[in-house]
Amino acid sequence: MNRNEGSKKKFVRELIEFYKDFVKGSAKAVRTLADIQKKYEEEYETFVDLKEDPAQIEDLMKELSSEEKEVILLMLIKASSLGKRMNKLFDLPVEEKERLADDLDKFAEFAEKKLKELSRCQNDDNT
């Protein structure tokens, strides 16, 4: 086996590892989304309708606090931007893939932080 064949085998193994990780993460996210859709059918439909009619956001946000409204709007904007870049994942240059990975990490950290903040606010309201 020449050096090139060994390189191809390593490439294929690492690509398989990428797909395994990508699919596992995607499967978890899709299950979470399915659970959300089951629990909140009406709200989910409103959310889906946002693509067709952005004015629907008012209905989705009617009963939210100003903090919750701010967070959901930021999340929707960030998710939209990241989603567009994810759709081009294989076409992105290495540097942009690395930047996208960093941005996804930051988005996840942002979401975690905001969930904790909102939970604290809700707990404060209940006491």
Residues 62-85 have pLDDT tens digits of 888 888 888 988 998 999 999 999
Interior angle at CA 114, CA 109 and CA 120, nearest 5: 130
Query: Which percentage of the chain shows pLDDT scores above 70?
Result: 93
Note whether 113 and 124 are same-domain residues.
Answer: yes
Could you give the CA distance from residue 97 to residue 101 in angstroms, rounded to a whole number?
A: 6
Residue type, 116: K
Domain that holds residue 31: 1-39
Note whether 21 and 63 are same-domain residues.
Answer: no
Note whether 15 and 53 are same-domain residues.
Answer: no
Better-predicted residue by pLDDT, 95 or 1? 95
Note whether 96 and 126 are same-domain residues.
Answer: yes
Note whether 54 and 115 are same-domain residues.
Answer: yes
Does 1 score more than 90 pLDDT?
A: no
Note whether 19 and 48 are same-domain residues.
Answer: no
User: Which pLDDT does position 83 carry in this prediction?
Assistant: 93
**Number of domains composing the chain:** 2
Please enumerate in sequence order all residues whose Cβ is within 8 A of that of 56, keeping only pairs 6 or more positions apart, or say none.
46, 49, 50
